[in-house]
Chains A and B, each alone.
Chain A
Amino acid sequence: MKNKALELRLSEEEYSRILKILGREPNWTELGIFSVMWSEHCSYKSSLVHLKKFPKKSDRSLTEMGKENAGVLRLKDNWAVAFKIESHNHPSAIEPFQGAATGVGGILRDIFCMGAYPIASLDSLRFGELSNPVNKHLFDGVVRGIAAYGNCFGVPTVAGEVSFDDSYAGNPLVNVVAVGIVRTDRMISARASGVGNAVVYIGAATGRDGIHGASFASGELTEKSSEDRPSVQIGDPFMEKLLLEATQEIAREHLAVGMQDMGAAGLTSSSAEMAAKGDVGVSLDLDKVPTREENMTPYEIMLSESQERMLLVSTPENLPKIEKILDKWGLHYAVIGEVISEPVLKLLWHGEVAAEIPINSLQAGDGAPVYDMPQRKPEYIEELQKRDARKEILEKIASSPGEANPQKILPELLMTPTIASKRWVWRQYDHQVGVRTVIVPGGADAAVMRIMETGQFLAISTDCNGAYCHLDPHSGSASAVLEAARNVAAVGAKPIGITDCLNFGNPQKPEVMWQFSRSCEGISDACSSLKIPVTGGNVSFYNESPKGAVFPTPVIGIVGIIEDERHITPMGFQNAGDDILILGKIDISDLGGSHLQKLLFGKYFGKPPEPKVEEQTQTIEFLLEQIYASRIESAHDISEGGIAVALAECLFAKSQFGANVKVPDDENPVLWMFAESQGVFIISAHPENADKIIAEATEKNVSCEKIGKVTETGMLKIGNFQWNVEKLKEEYESAIPKMMNN
């Protein structure tokens, strides 16, 4: 059995621990259950000590990180927002369409099993460079998979990010955020309780698909990973939609004691986690589990990751009412067990006990192992940080003025797939179903959804710059949180909480753990400064291909509130004659990890831009005050590609306009135009309001200055350089379609 344990990616030490817990050798089924529940994916065994550092609560919190299926924050009256992010990286690497589709399905179930109605989905995607046909294939398949699932289910896919870097070649990142709204009195808990209550299995029958998916996600991808294709599940969005509608009715009538999605580790994790959270046990009769294949063993039934399945606990009195709802929606279900007082997971099969495991031994952070894994600062960081990005760029400009010419650089950056328009992507997503989408993808820095139920609006965004995190995981991760906050602030929303998807390499490598731990600290610092909690999320380790680990990529999903429709702020310039201002400071040293650097050198080095956490928080607050005072016509966050790219983007909405911007006298124009300083917005305002903004900024010690005017020329003019806006837009819009050949 011990050798089998090792094959299932359990360590020798973990196997001894199992012997001690059971007081005997585990049988095959029990071993399988331990292996998935103690996998990194389910147990968070290497990450938990670091995740504890996060600020977890705010006045709005209705759940605590890790305690329920998703984070829930109060909005107004008795309405709340439920949201969470999850990764489906490995399945998408092997089978992009189904991998991404089932990623969408999984995260939607996490929020709707709580009683929430999904109102938006966002995708944060990373691939290797599009010059490689394999990456094109992955990109195309993932987008089609997300579209196929989300469009059929009927959730609008409204925002996200797509970036390309060879760090992700062989191990793409597919992270999905689901956002839903829920009435606080209709929330369904993930706890089992009430001895004698029925455990009801709902949805698709169990097949042999996805067995050991959680363990598969907890190992590195190798050349042989395509042999793991059977570990990838197949999605059925139609079934999922029926599950949603039935769950809504169950929630409305308060019929469920508890409910959970059968996600990673399927029936095992849903039953064990629900029982553990409720301090009870659960007994399941596996002969009653609906199966779609013959002769499935208890091991296979418990470890299957067939999609579109939920587990529900009901009192005997409510059971007939629940059955009636499930019948109405044509869903299959079966009562497969009951809640028991003895705190064990007990499985019966053909009248015999097939497994019996103390429930707390399966619970993350409780009986499951927790490790404080060794850390070591990677050598590459010292090496790269020693280099002076600004100095090397200046040398490059001096030695090859033709190549390092802004006239050429701006259009090239706008055609870089990471920066270029993602219209090709979001046009394939139904982003309007639900009649809530007020700002559509590409329309501003964040999507804006209306909440008719409360009269409010939600702004949502996902962000992370992997290159910054590669150069300095601490400051890069803080920057990811702050960029997300800037994006929602730019549309007029006050950030209220984040969910994070921490994509890293193999945690057994001390260098990866060092990155991970620094990243968690960076997220904590930024969230503490912004006074927002981490409401939940996901850790995805083992993102490695034969070429090594991906850039540390802590993707931040953020939610912000807009209380008044009049505060919704566009990104594009609105009127010729308006003043253009920069709020925040551009520092021409902020070039490490920049797109200018990648363009000129093909790689990243130096130090990434400083997050300046407290200063940024103040800038964000100031921007919101000015928006609330109705002084601002448009706002856009400066990020990848610096102020030149941001100015061009401000003009694309109404390309008949132009802009006339001066470069500060003492600054080198190339560095100033493309530095990626954090915490800077481009805003536009009527001249009289601009003066008021500047006066107030001076008073509050916030950096804000006029840099130019919106014109009617259709030309973007920065210092001595100028471009035709229509032409830039054409280049920006056509870059990805050209690469994808349509």
Chain B
Amino acid sequence: MNAGVVIFPGSNCDRDTYWALSHTGLNVSYLWHEDSELGDVDFVILPGGFSYGDYLRTGAFARFSPVMRAVSDFAGKGGIVLGICNGFQILQEAGLLPGAMLPNKSLRFICDWTYISIENRNSPFTSNIRDGNVLKIPIAHFEGNFFCDDENLERIESNGQVVFRYSDESGDVILSRNPNGSLNNIAGISNERGNVLGMMPHPERASEEILGSDDGKRIFKSVAEWLTGNS
């Protein structure tokens, strides 16, 4: 399985994501923001960071880069795309995922561990996570407060596009565990087809026990197994 990690100027989780994916057993390569072709990849990851400095608006410039046109085509053909943190914001800006990110309710950057409950088990990103319903994965963002209008929210919910919600350790989705003010505790959503996922928590930071959790790795593994099963 070949995974491609996109580097935008200002990406800063590219190396971490590369490291975590390689340790999950995937063949990983970097994709450059100016590339107009993705080459031989089965799985594209837009890593966290501050693409183009996040000036103007998070993810606002990145969507115009040549690689994003290729990513859109890839996603349109059913290719698996994961946007983490800033990558999620870019996917929203590019129209591949619904909604937008507001600044955190506290108006402060938050870096902390969170628990997320798996809300949709039919996604390539979760279908092969067999045991347990809750993942321990940290967040690190200033703008991760998921927002959209009521109509969209209803559609997202009824389509089962909510893949992860912030919860407590046992999987109860409660307001006190919502770190940033996201609507319905949303931590990760997919597109209607389910092949594109955006999530604010950083699975690459939770891919080894020594870092405090290896739950993030389970997401990468799930994708790898899904791709194997579908190849």
Q: Which chain A residues have a beta carbon within 8 Å of chain B's beta carbons?
A: 144, 147-148, 151-154, 236-239, 241-242, 329-330, 426-435, 437-438, 440, 450, 452, 565, 742
User: What residues of chain A lie closer than 8 Å to B15, measured between beta carbons?
Assistant: 434
Residues from chain A with a CB closer than 8 A to the CB of B211 are 432, 435, 437-438
State how many angstroms separate the Cβ of B13 from the closest Cβ of chain A: 6
Chain A residues, Cβ within 8 Å of B204: 435
Report yes or no: A432 in contact with B210, Cβ–Cβ below 8 A. no
B residues at A contact (CB < 8 Å):
9-10, 12-13, 15-16, 19-20, 48-50, 52-55, 106, 108-112, 138, 140, 142, 202, 204-205, 207-208, 210-212
Residue contact A241 to B111, C-beta cutoff 8 Å: no
Closest to A431 in B: B111
Q: How far is the CA of A363 from the CA of B61 in the complex (A)?
A: 44
Check A238 against B53 for contact (C-beta < 8 Å): yes
Given contacts A147-B109, A238-B55, A428-B111, contact A435 B19 (CB under 8 A): yes
Prevailing SS type, chain B contact patch: mixed
Contacts of B20 in A (CB 8 A): 435
CB distance from B24 to the nearest CB of A (A): 13
Asked if residues A434 and B16 are in contact (CB atoms below 8 Å), the reply is yes
| A contact residues around B52 at 8 Å (CB) | 238
Docked complex Cα distance between A237 and B51 (Å): 11
6 A-B residue pairs with CB within 8 Å: A238-B10, A427-B108, A435-B16, A435-B204, A435-B211, A742-B106
**Inter-subunit contact B106/A433 (CB<8 Å):** no
CB <8 Å contact, B110 and A329: no
B54 touches A152 (CB 8 A): yes
Whether B140 and A152, one on each chain, are in contact in the complex, defined by CB atoms closer than 8 angstroms, is no
Give A742 to B107 CA distance when docked, in angstroms: 10
- Chain B nearest CB from A100 CB (Å) reads 14
Q: Are A565 and B210 in contact (CB under 8 A)?
A: yes
**Which residue of the partner chain, among A242, A427, A428, A435, contacts B9 with CB atoms under 8 Å?**
A242
Q: Out of B12, B19, B54, name the residue touching A154 (CB < 8 Å).
A: B12
Which residues on B sit within 8 Å (CB–CB) of A236? 53
B53 and A433 contacting across the interface, CB-CB below 8 Å: no
Q: Is the CB of A433 within 8 A of B108?
A: no
The residue from A241, A242, A428, A435 contacting B110, defined by CB atoms under 8 A apart: A428
- Check if A430 sits within 8 Å of B109, measured CB to CB: yes
On whether A432 and B50 interact (CB within 8 A), knowing A147-B109, A151-B109, the answer reads: no
Residue of B nearest to A147 (CB): B109
Q: How far is the CB of A446 from chain B (nearest CB, A)?
A: 16
CA gap between A160 and B41 in the complex, in Å: 42
Q: CB-nearest residue of chain B relative to A434?
A: B16
Please tell me which one of the listed residues B9, B53, B55, B111 contacts residue A432 in the complex, with CB atoms under 8 A apart.
B111
Bound CA span A615–B188, Å: 55
Residues from chain A with a CB closer than 8 A to the CB of B54 are 152, 238
Instruction: Give the nearest-CB partner of B34 in chain A.
Output: A328
A residues less than 8 Å from B109 (CB atoms): 147-148, 151, 428-430
A237 to B15, CA, bound (A): 18
* A330 partner, pick from B9, B55, B112, beta carbons under 8 A: B9
- Given A152-B53, A428-B108: A433 touches B140 (CB 8 Å cut-off): yes
Contacts of B142 in A (CB 8 A): 151
**Residues of B close to A450: CB separation below 8 A:** 210
Closest to B52 in A: A238
How many whole Å from A346's CB to the nearest CB in chain B?
Answer: 36
Give the distance in Å from the alpha carbon of A257 to the alpha carbon of B28 in the complex.
Answer: 34
Q: Across the interface, which residues of B come within 8 angstroms of A431, CB to CB?
A: 111
Given contacts A151-B142, A152-B10, A237-B53, could you give 9 more A-B pairs where the C-beta distance is less than 8 Å? Answer: A148-B109, A151-B50, A154-B49, A241-B10, A241-B12, A427-B110, A429-B111, A433-B16, A565-B210
User: Considering the chains assembled together, what is the distance between the CA atoms of A437 and B112 in angstroms?
Assistant: 13
> In the complex, which residue of chain A has the Cβ closest to the Cβ of B49?
A154
Nearest chain A CB to B155's CB is how many angstroms away?
33
Residues from chain A with Cβ under 8 Å of B138 in the complex: 432
Instruction: Give Cα A239 to B55, complex, Å.
Output: 12
In the complex, chain B residues whose CB is within 8 Å of the CB of A330: 9
Contact of A237 among B16, B50, B205 (CB under 8 A): B50
**Interchain residue pairs A-B with the least CB separation, the first 10:** A154-B12, A238-B53, A152-B50, A435-B16, A430-B140, A430-B111, A428-B109, A432-B205, A147-B109, A238-B10
